[in-house]
Structure 1
Amino acid sequence: MLSSLPLSLLFSALFQFQKVSASGASYTVSIPPAAPTNAIEVPADFFGFGYETAFLPHFDNAFSENMVNAIGSRMSKPLIIRIGGTSGDLVKVDLEQKEPAICVKGPSCPLSSQDTFTLGKAYFEVFKKFPNASMTIQAPMGDGMEMNNTMAYVRNAWQNLGHDRVAAIALGNEPNYYSWNAEEYVRHALEVESNITKEFNLQGEEARIFELGDIANDAAVSGNKYDITQVFDDHIDQNSQGKFAAEHYYQLNKNLAVYNEANLQQHVMNHTAILEHLASYEKSMQAVHQHHANLSFVLSEVGSVIGGGPTNFSGGFGAAIWAADFHLAAMARGIKRVSNTQRPEASHAFWIPDNSGPKTGRPVVQGIFPAAPFVADFVGKDASLGKVVELGVNGQGLFTAYAMYGLHSEKIERVALVNLQQWDASSKTTRGNKTVTLSVGNGVKSAVIRRLHADQGWSALGYDLGGAQENVTWAGEQWTYAVDQGMGHFPTGSMEQESVAVNGTVKVSVPDTEAVIVFFE
């Protein structure tokens, strides 16, 4: 049985940075050469994307495939795309319809996840795309569900996707918003599960394919109306066919009177705020593991901000720094996957796939995107996969550090440093800087530094929305629609990395609103 203490408190006690200057501009840390006992193995498919169900056809283009491949190529398992969301419980299947999707009613047809769409045969053919990725299918459930419609959606998605590419089947979306209580939801979910296993003749390990819970963000935080604990208490996995337990996470889940730099620093670019929010998910994970110790706990719908906010607040470079820290904090606490949700209307999206998004009116890569390759490269690929631990740092919520050890060698392989201190060129102030001395011992012979960087600072939107002055890059690589259609390119002609001297220690400078990974040999 896991400790009842939040894991964040246990992690913070393991290693402590020592502050060595009164201003807080410098830190020193001693890194043990071998993985500590509480280092957590990170799955190869930790990083994922998600498309809102009704908007899947908008991602049926080479641009979106390039964006997915830019990350999937850095992974040793297929990247998982979650097809789900609120609209996934509202869709109606009509295979006689020629158009992929038609919005028939809703609060903001055809832009909202709360709109109702009918789906034709062409919709399901999109599941054949993204051949290097796997997908999670959402079985439509909820108030007024019709089993024939639910099975028609799953059947057509499955047939076009192919069994080998089905990562999981989710039983509805955010059921705590349904009129049912937890017990009623579980009864309906088990009926859907039974019909699916019979339809596809799933037996043994093949039948262990379901994603359980998909509980809304606010329930994870407040427990209202019910959370994932009650779902498992009511025996959602009584048939032992669960593959993942899932909840949803938005860093900021409320409207603000003003979306300014102060609120971005307080609510988003803030490690303390991240840990406070993650604490309830640690409790959920512990509750799930008390029922099934080996069930993977994932965050199947994630975004920086929901409910409002301009793109430079929700999807700019400040959000990229948040994403870097959030993903690393999540993996260090045992969360097994993060699916970053997308639709054309969402200002927090990593890219807008076509001209249907009213905020941009055209396909663009947003300033948050380079956080994705940053995270994927920290996770590693093939022989470089590893175990992660967060290093305690007295950064007052604005500076963090994480160490990744080789999965088999258990030797230190890389360290990520994230400086969440907000800075922007518009402030007309000098960009601050933190200097970190890493004590790595005699086993490390060389080190290179790669940077998640924007000259502009937190408000940078990326080249597509802000031009060259708002470029955002990871290791010197940039992704745009206008220049490379999402394939990525190096504006300077090659990867940018810095070789640094190693003599038992490595000294690293991390400017405000920047993140780095130090790779060791």
Structure 2
Amino acid sequence: MAPQLEYGAWRSWGSWGGYKSLGDVLLPELDSLVSQVPFPPPKARPSEFISALRLSWMKMWSQTSKPVSLFLAITGIGSAAVLPDKTPPFSVKVPENTAQGASANIDTSFCGFAFEQSSFTRYAQTDDGKPNVFSQNLIQAITSRTGGHPIIRLGGTSPDYGKYLPGQKAPALPVAEQDNYQDVGHTTIGPSYWGFTRHFPTAKYMVQVPMATKNLSETIAWTQAAVHGIGIENIHSIQPGNEPNLYSDTYRGEGGIELHPPEYQGTLTNQTYVAEYQKYTAAILEAVKELPKGRFFTAFDVATHYGRNVPPGPLLDVERCFALGIDSSRIIKEVSHHYYQGSAGGASDLARGLMDMAATHRYVDDLAARSIAWLSRSRPGLPFVLNEVGNSLQPRNSYAYQNRLGSALWQADFYLHCMARGVARVNYQQIMHAGYNLWLPVASAGHAAQVFANFYSQPFVADFIGGSGKTRVARLDIGGSGGDDENVKGPANVAAYAAYDDDVVRRIAVANLNYWNKTNADAGDRPSVVLDINVPAGVKTVEVAHLNSPLGAGGGADTITYGGSQWTFESLGKEVKGVRKDTENLVVKDGVVRVTVKSSEAVLLRLSTDKVKCKP
């Protein structure tokens, strides 16, 4: 078949593969490429056609003035596009003083932790009854970078429907394992449970107490036991209820146990939630005299699930609930929401799932517009936190989607974007069975204790925050390539953020979530973006630390390094340095440093006024 005739068949393929409007714009450009494209046989797959176009486009790059966006539009599926390996540099302008719209000061305890009630005992103690040094060291590896103390939330759906049994000798039942789901409706804890909190002596605890139950005596007993067992000085806040927007008149737990009226809460409205919250907090304050006066309670704690096939939960509206008087007693310390981004898929879903940066930013921006903006205007100083976060929902686990380099990069960018949009803290959830965990603390169900890929996001983010306590964060604009044309957009799926200390930029983070996975047979060469970053006057050198794996987005923890380091169970969670020597020191030339960021990689830049031996 002649190339022109075969091209005609491809040209009309499936209304251009479902991208008809895009094809209408780009087909004239494609027509000009047709003679140079080595078209596949008639029965070839559409992906082979795209690959052929990619190869021809890259060969023609030096001869054409067409912008890189043409290539992205042709070969990118969704916003997780694949960038060509050779493109002109993009420009990043860094305001010398704090960027307009920068965040408030970031708390040094921004990187928080959350544990499902029963799972916490496994993270805190080994099977032979000793403090879990592995967990201690991993938490220390994060908090030591900022100087903050770990803020740990203990809670979840299981304790909201759980019971405190004063005579129970076991700390928590049933025992959490890697292969069992949390037992909603049957979870019980005993007095010894709270002693496990002492294994993290510098931590402050967010203590969730039951509000799903209609039995106020249960709530009071739980609170009293926590205060006596943890010590009031080690409690960050008391949190009544878990995801009250999901209470239901027909809710059933594990095994079909009925967890609805009359013994448990039914569906709540803004009005009934405010009334119940006020009733439970008043009863707690009346019965537990050790609680301090003033702001000591977390409110809302609602579910906000976003993503493909997961509609947002029916939110209890922050503005409306405050108008109804939820804080009339002035006891609310912070407003909290939960966040899970979609349903976990398989390895092949990672590109269009977690690595779709535009979707992630849209969801966070929605939270910012809906709740954070109102709080900053009407209740300044009252923080908004995400105190239960996981990257996706899955009753069991899907490690190939939930715990690879791609998901760790999602987590790093998610934290950075949250800081820029005004989220005051993120508490990342851990459950023994969950696929999105940071680490597995003990051997369980045939799985060895181990550090998971997602952990690597945490030291990266902590280093970005730094230890000044005065860090402010702003997202930076990435300008177009190809000269000074400001109408040419920056690369898709790439974001840059600046950390300012005392109004001076000290660190820059860049996340490139474009999907590249060497575990795929047809991965090809690894693309990258090149950024020309305009740094403030006086900056002479830039250290570049990489969060990366040679396998790309599909790389597991054993292939990932950050700053050349790894953390393993064999090292008991302590940093193993020098595993990969990929940290660079670059010279600033004429106020610009040129940085290459590979697809499926994040980098952290430390700006220095000192001269060191660097490569230009």
**TM-score greater than 0.5 by the shorter chain:** yes
CA deviation string 1:39-88 (max 9, x = no partner): 11222111111001232211122221121111111122212111111112
Q: Which deviates further from its counterpart, 283-292 or 167-176?
A: 283-292
Q: Give SS of 1:114's match.
A: coil
CA deviation string 1:153-205 (max 9, x = no partner): 2222222222222111112110011213332222222222223333444687x
Per the alignment, residue 101 of structure 2 pairs with 38
User: Is contact 1:141-1:172 (8 Å) kept?
Assistant: yes
Among 457, 460, 464, which residue is 1:378 paired with?
Answer: 464
Q: Distance in 1 between matches of 2:334 and 2:311?
A: 20
CA deviation string 1:134-164 (max 9, x = no partner): 111001111x332222122222222222222
Shift of 1:225: 5.8
In the TM superposition, what are the counterparts of 1:172-183 in structure 2 within 5 Å?
Answer: 172-178=241-247, 179=266, 180-183=268-271
Shift of 1:31: 1.3
Among 331, 336, 339, which residue is 1:246 paired with?
Answer: 336
Taking structure 1 as reference, are residues 145 and 129 closer, same or farther at Cα in structure 2, changes over 3 Å only? farther
Q: Distance in 2 between matches of 1:337 and 1:125?
A: 26
Per the alignment, residue 122 of structure 1 pairs with 192
Per the alignment, residue 68 of structure 1 pairs with 139
The answer to whether structure 1 residue 296 and structure 2 residue 383 are counterparts is yes
Shift of 1:386: 1.2
Q: Give SS of 1:426's match.
A: coil
User: Is contact 1:405-1:413 (8 Å) kept?
Assistant: yes
- Root-mean-square deviation (Å): 2.6
Per the alignment, residue 467 of structure 1 pairs with none
Larger radius of gyration: 2
User: Is contact 2:106-2:424 (8 Å) kept?
Assistant: yes
Q: Distance in 2 between matches of 1:255 and 1:203?
A: 40
Per the alignment, residue 166 of structure 2 pairs with 95
Taking structure 1 as reference, are residues 323 and 292 closer, same or farther at Cα in structure 2, changes over 3 Å only? same
Shift of 1:496: 5.5
Q: Which deviates further from its counterpart, 449-458 or 32-41?
A: 32-41
Q: Distance in 1 between matches of 2:96 and 2:553?
A: 34
User: Is contact 1:324-1:375 (8 Å) kept?
Assistant: yes
Q: Which deviates further from its counterpart, 73-82 or 192-201?
A: 192-201
Shift of 1:382: 2.7
Q: Which deviates further from its counterpart, 182-191 or 118-127?
A: 182-191
Q: Give SS of 1:425's match.
A: coil
Q: Distance in 2 between matches of 1:374 and 1:414?
A: 11
Structure 2 segments unaligned to the other structure (5+ residues): 1-65, 72-82, 125-131, 248-265, 479-488, 609-616
Per the alignment, residue 421 of structure 1 pairs with 514
Per the alignment, residue 492 of structure 1 pairs with 579
Q: Distance in 1 between matches of 2:495 and 2:320?
A: 34
The one-letter amino acid paired with 1:453 is N
CA deviation string 1:272-326 (max 9, x = no partner): 0112211321112223445422210011111111125520211111100101111
Among 209, 214, 217, which residue is 1:148 paired with?
Answer: 217
Taking structure 1 as reference, are residues 315 and 232 closer, same or farther at Cα in structure 2, changes over 3 Å only? farther
Per the alignment, residue 362 of structure 1 pairs with 448
Shift of 1:109: 9.8
Q: Distance in 2 between matches of 1:441 and 1:187?
A: 53
The one-letter amino acid paired with 2:100 is T
User: Is contact 1:343-1:352 (8 Å) kept?
Assistant: no
Q: Which deviates further from its counterpart, 239-248 or 419-428?
A: 419-428
CA deviation string 1:460-494 (max 9, x = no partner): 2212xxxxxxx21111111111x21212212539x
In the TM superposition, what are the counterparts of 1:427-438 in structure 2 within 5 Å?
Answer: 427=520, 428-438=523-533
Q: Distance in 2 between matches of 1:502 and 1:475?
A: 20
The one-letter amino acid paired with 1:278 is V
Shift of 1:234: 2.7
The one-letter amino acid paired with 2:353 is H
Q: Give SS of 2:326's match.
A: coil
CA deviation string 1:2-56 (max 9, x = no partner): xxxxxxxxxxxxxxxxx98676643111212111231112221111110012322
The answer to whether structure 1 residue 439 and structure 2 residue 534 are counterparts is yes
The answer to whether structure 1 residue 234 and structure 2 residue 324 are counterparts is yes
Per the alignment, residue 184 of structure 1 pairs with 272
Q: Distance in 2 between matches of 1:193 and 1:225?
A: 21
Among 387, 390, 397, which residue is 2:475 paired with?
Answer: 390
Q: Give SS of 1:126's match.
A: helix
User: Is contact 1:232-1:291 (8 Å) kept?
Assistant: no
The one-letter amino acid paired with 2:114 is G
User: Is contact 2:96-2:504 (8 Å) kept?
Assistant: yes
Q: Distance in 2 between matches of 1:113 and 1:338?
A: 25
Structure 1 segments unaligned to the other structure (5+ residues): 1-18, 464-470
Residue correspondences, number:
481
CA deviation string 1:238-285 (max 9, x = no partner): 111111101111122x365xx243x31222112101122113211122
Q: Give SS of 1:506's match.
A: strand
Taking structure 1 as reference, are residues 231 and 378 closer, same or farther at Cα in structure 2, changes over 3 Å only? same
Taking structure 1 as reference, are residues 370 and 237 closer, same or farther at Cα in structure 2, changes over 3 Å only? same
The answer to whether structure 1 residue 112 and structure 2 residue 197 are counterparts is no
TM-score between the two structures when normalised by the length of structure 2:
0.73
Q: Distance in 1 between matches of 2:582 and 2:142?
A: 18
Taking structure 1 as reference, are residues 373 and 519 closer, same or farther at Cα in structure 2, changes over 3 Å only? same
Shift of 1:114: 2.5
The answer to whether structure 1 residue 276 and structure 2 residue 276 are counterparts is no
Q: Distance in 2 between matches of 1:497 and 1:109?
A: 38
User: Is contact 1:86-1:113 (8 Å) kept?
Assistant: no
Among 100, 114, 121, which residue is 1:50 paired with?
Answer: 114
Taking structure 1 as reference, are residues 113 and 509 closer, same or farther at Cα in structure 2, changes over 3 Å only? farther
User: Is contact 1:232-1:288 (8 Å) kept?
Assistant: no
Taking structure 1 as reference, are residues 368 and 255 closer, same or farther at Cα in structure 2, changes over 3 Å only? closer
The one-letter amino acid paired with 2:236 is A
The answer to whether structure 1 residue 517 and structure 2 residue 604 are counterparts is yes
The one-letter amino acid paired with 2:166 is L
Taking structure 1 as reference, are residues 109 and 260 closer, same or farther at Cα in structure 2, changes over 3 Å only? closer
Shift of 1:333: 0.3
Shift of 1:502: 1.2
Q: Distance in 2 between matches of 1:246 and 1:316?
A: 28
Q: Distance in 1 between matches of 2:305 and 2:495?
A: 26
The one-letter amino acid paired with 1:52 is E
Taking structure 1 as reference, are residues 287 and 88 closer, same or farther at Cα in structure 2, changes over 3 Å only? farther
Residue identity (%): 29
The one-letter amino acid paired with 2:574 is M
Q: Distance in 1 between matches of 2:594 and 2:282?
A: 57
Among 314, 326, 339, which residue is 2:427 paired with?
Answer: 339
Q: Give SS of 1:368's match.
A: helix
The one-letter amino acid paired with 1:381 is G
Shift of 1:396: 5.2
